[in-house]
Chain A
């Protein structure tokens, strides 16, 4: 993956710039902002209509939240149950503690098959562990089969959304990528023609590549079943034609009973794409002779998840079913798109998940990349209180940072510490008000407004005026009035 392109931000949290810096690059890109805004508006409008018609929406959310919390409370037992049932049905279960282990397990499995090529169903876990560049470097050619993923792969672009990864690219840009990489000079930007081009490209891969990689939306402990939901049928092809399937799945994706899919599938499609039901739902249990892949492997990925599980407030992060409703509802994401988050998981869920997966060592600006408006919590189908987790992570970042010597002189830290002293007593607060009034007088124009402030204040006045401080505070007015006997 090349990150030398101007305006391109690394999606590896270890190398990504701080959020405000990356966001600024995106804010300056009118094409990107138009594409993101348009795509989000379309999805949001569809979702809105379907949620209104579902009269038991809140009950469904509560049920889903309860199921997911129950899973987290009993995760070890359900994973073992899944392993036993999947194995009994002819599957093989592998456990990967971290990204490096997961990559190696998958490569070893591919080597056993003498695979030099692999087709893929869209999977976020593979992006999380940077599987594609690793396999390519190890001599395995990787072919994405999801339309958006093909666009990204052929165009050498990064995903900006967890459900609609090429959401930042419009169809004339897709036409350009396809025409250039497939040698189709007369291709128009008619969606039908673009889909046909992708279909022709894909059909050959489906028919010739015998090994496939997928993620999973859910694992069912009771039956050992794996579930993938998708819209294009590429997943169904990958589950029908190849001889070998390897599914890379986060350990939190397990559900207790088959029946729990009833709740989850109703919520997922509506939340993710604004559909009553997604077009293709594939469920498979181990291997079935004569039907689908005859060798099946599940790689269960921890990669930081069990350390999140251990934390009381943060563990709800693992309830996530990756529907992306939070980023679609987020006013910050709407302006910046996904790349600004410097992670394959953008938006509100990315802002809480990424720093935790990174053990709070990287992506520390992400918990602050929110106005705490609460729209994410309102739409979350499994009721993750994202603002609550954001606040918890902010507090952890501050506790880490304030120990660093340089922070003594950081204006934000200094200001907040002084403010705390000020708010501790009424006389301190009132003295600060008087001093503020005197200090700001110098910056206040004749019209009573402040148009420009230095230092941190300039961050406000670069786009906004500030009314100068009134001559009399409220408490002074109250005291005067009381003296005058009302």
Chain B
């Protein structure tokens, strides 16, 4: 199977280890992966802050880069949600007929990582070993936009050695919200404090998610508070094996 990796701008810049893990994981599962060198951003930051024109130009760029791809894999729930929920509106308003058609043809081939593994590849056991206590942050876009449901839990259940903690208020927002974390920094921090209390109460070693933006928020507070817990993208857990540990 061929697939094209859209790594997303912040993973490329801030979390390259997640990208390396996705490559290792998918190649281990026999996927023929390629990476478009001209990719940048899906436009989520601009769209969510009200800069619709700018978001449109980035959305258009995404469609043009990937319209010929067999499958697109994206290790970020919120970026996939941007493409699925916001591109149609942007193109309806600002795009032309050709662009809309190209996008409609591309959309069914765009997968979030856990969707790609479960729905497209049909695997739950990816052959991973990760002998740690882990808490999973379901992330708003994963739960309410993509409806990932049981997918991440099915994947984690088959990871050898993984001890999954139960998180109370699992679907509650961590308070990141993109530019919300800066425009409403104090409210965002209050939301983070409450979320962190639930996360830390699990006494896990690692907090994982399918979106590094939430993890950057949670991880930033964990580091500030010497909380003794680390954040790690689920791709890095799934890529870990007995012989090759976390990247």
A residues with CB within 8 A of B: 19-20, 23-24, 27, 331-332, 334-336, 367-375, 377-378, 388, 391, 394-399, 412, 416-417, 419-420, 422-426, 429, 433, 436, 449, 451, 456, 459-460, 462-467, 469-470, 472-479
Other-chain contact of B173, A375, A399, A416 (Cβ < 8 Å): A375
Whether A374 contacts B144 by the Cβ 8 Å rule is yes
Q: How far is the CB of A227 from chain B (nearest CB, A)?
A: 32
Stretch in B6-14, B125-133, B149-157 with 4+ CB within 8 Å of A = B6-14
Could you say which residues of chain B place their CB within 8 Å of the CB of A24? Answer: 186
Whether B14 contacts A23 by the Cβ 8 Å rule is no
Q: How far is the CB of B154 from chain A (nearest CB, A)?
A: 22
Write the B159-184 contact mask toward A (1 if CB under 8 angstroms, else 0).
Answer: 00000000000011101111111111
Other-chain contact of B9, A425, A429, A459, A462 (Cβ < 8 Å): A429
Could you say which residues of chain A place their CB within 8 Å of the CB of B171? Answer: 375
Whether A464 contacts B220 by the Cβ 8 Å rule is yes
Could you say which residues of chain B place their CB within 8 Å of the CB of A377? Answer: 144
Q: Which residue of A lies closest to B219 (CB)?
A: A467
Other-chain contact of B46, A372, A374, A420 (Cβ < 8 Å): A420
Known: A373-B173, A412-B183, A477-B20. 4 other contacts (CB 8 A): A391-B47, A429-B41, A433-B13, A463-B185
Whether A19 contacts B192 by the Cβ 8 Å rule is no
Whether B37 contacts A449 by the Cβ 8 Å rule is no
Q: How far is the CB of B230 from chain A (nearest CB, A)?
A: 11
Main secondary structure of the interface of A (DSSP, over half): helix
A339 to B242, CA, bound (A): 54
Whether A463 contacts B221 by the Cβ 8 Å rule is yes
Which 6 A-B pairs have CB atoms at the shortest separation, nearest pair first? Answer: A371-B177, A464-B220, A394-B50, A398-B50, A474-B19, A373-B173
A19 to B61, CA, bound (A): 35
Q: How far is the CB of B16 from chain A (nearest CB, A)?
A: 4
In the complex, which of the residues A331, A378, A476 has the most CB atoms of chain B within 10 Å of its own CB atom? A331
Q: How far is the CB of A158 from chain B (nearest CB, A)?
A: 19
Write the B49-88 contact mask toward A (1 if CB under 8 angstroms, else 0).
Answer: 1111010011001000000000000000000000000100
Could you say which residues of chain B place their CB within 8 Å of the CB of A374? Answer: 140-141, 144-145
Other-chain contact of A465, B15, B86, B189, B223 (Cβ < 8 Å): B223
Q: Can you sample 16 A-B contacts with CB below 8 Å? A: A19-B184, A20-B183, A331-B175, A332-B191, A367-B50, A368-B180, A370-B177, A371-B173, A391-B50, A416-B51, A424-B61, A459-B182, A470-B16, A473-B16, A474-B19, A477-B20
Could you say which residues of chain A place their CB within 8 Å of the CB of B47? Answer: 391
Could you say which residues of chain A place their CB within 8 Å of the CB of B54? Answer: 416-417, 419-420
B101: CB under 8 A from chain A? Answer: no
A426 to B35, CA, bound (A): 13
Main secondary structure of the interface of B (DSSP, over half): helix
B190: CB under 8 A from chain A? Answer: yes
Other-chain contact of A460, B46, B48, B141, B182 (Cβ < 8 Å): B182
Could you say which residues of chain A place their CB within 8 Å of the CB of B13? Answer: 433, 436, 469, 473
Whether B191 contacts A378 by the Cβ 8 Å rule is no
Could you say which residues of chain A place their CB within 8 Å of the CB of B177? Answer: 370-373
Tally of contacts, chain A with chain B, CB under 8 A: 191
A390 to B131, CA, bound (A): 43
Could you say which residues of chain B place their CB within 8 Å of the CB of A417? Answer: 54
Q: How far is the CB of B20 from chain A (nearest CB, A)?
A: 6
Could you say which residues of chain B place their CB within 8 Å of the CB of A474? Answer: 7, 11-12, 16, 18-20
A395 to B56, CA, bound (A): 12
Could you say which residues of chain A place their CB within 8 Å of the CB of B50? Answer: 367-368, 391, 394-399
B148: CB under 8 A from chain A? Answer: no
A312 to B58, CA, bound (A): 25
Whether A467 contacts B14 by the Cβ 8 Å rule is yes
A424/B57 contact (C-beta < 8 A), A370-B177, A391-B50, A398-B50 known: yes
Q: How far is the CB of A68 from chain B (nearest CB, A)?
A: 21
Could you say which residues of chain B place their CB within 8 Å of the CB of A476? Answer: 16
Whether B16 contacts A472 by the Cβ 8 Å rule is yes
Could you say which residues of chain A place their CB within 8 Å of the CB of B188? Answer: 371
Whether A463 contacts B224 by the Cβ 8 Å rule is yes
Write the B85-125 contact mask toward A (1 if CB under 8 angstroms, else 0).
Answer: 01001000000000000000000000000000000000000
A396 to B184, CA, bound (A): 19
Whether A373 contacts B140 by the Cβ 8 Å rule is yes
Q: How far is the CB of A291 from chain B (nearest CB, A)?
A: 48
Whether A475 contacts B7 by the Cβ 8 Å rule is yes
A23/B220 contact (C-beta < 8 A), A373-B177, A477-B19 known: no
B31: CB under 8 A from chain A? Answer: no
B187: CB under 8 A from chain A? Answer: yes
Could you say which residues of chain A place their CB within 8 Å of the CB of B17? Answer: 470
Could you say which residues of chain B place their CB within 8 Å of the CB of A475? Answer: 7, 12, 35, 37, 39
Whether B41 contacts A423 by the Cβ 8 Å rule is yes
Could you say which residues of chain A place their CB within 8 Å of the CB of B182? Answer: 412, 456, 459-460
Whether A375 contacts B144 by the Cβ 8 Å rule is yes
Whether B180 contacts A416 by the Cβ 8 Å rule is no
Q: How far is the CB of A142 from chain B (nearest CB, A)?
A: 34
Q: How far is the CB of B149 from chain A (nearest CB, A)?
A: 14
A422 to B61, CA, bound (A): 13
Whether A394 contacts B191 by the Cβ 8 Å rule is no
Q: How far is the CB of B40 from chain A (nearest CB, A)?
A: 4
Could you say which residues of chain B place their CB within 8 Å of the CB of A465? Answer: 220-221, 223-224
Q: How far is the CB of B169 from chain A (nearest CB, A)?
A: 9
A424 to B46, CA, bound (A): 13
Q: Which residue of A lies closest to B220 (CB)?
A: A464
Q: How far is the CB of A413 from chain B (nearest CB, A)?
A: 9
A219 to B17, CA, bound (A): 59
B194: CB under 8 A from chain A? Answer: yes
A469/B176 contact (C-beta < 8 A), A336-B187, A474-B7 known: no
Q: How far is the CB of B57 from chain A (nearest CB, A)?
A: 7
B217: CB under 8 A from chain A? Answer: yes
B200: CB under 8 A from chain A? Answer: no
Whether A463 contacts B192 by the Cβ 8 Å rule is yes
Q: Which residue of B lies closest to A37 (CB)?
A: B194
Whether A27 contacts B186 by the Cβ 8 Å rule is yes
Could you say which residues of chain B place their CB within 8 Å of the CB of A373? Answer: 140, 144, 173, 177
Other-chain contact of A416, B45, B141, B194 (Cβ < 8 Å): B45
Q: Which residue of A lies closest to B187 (CB)?
A: A23
A336 to B182, CA, bound (A): 17
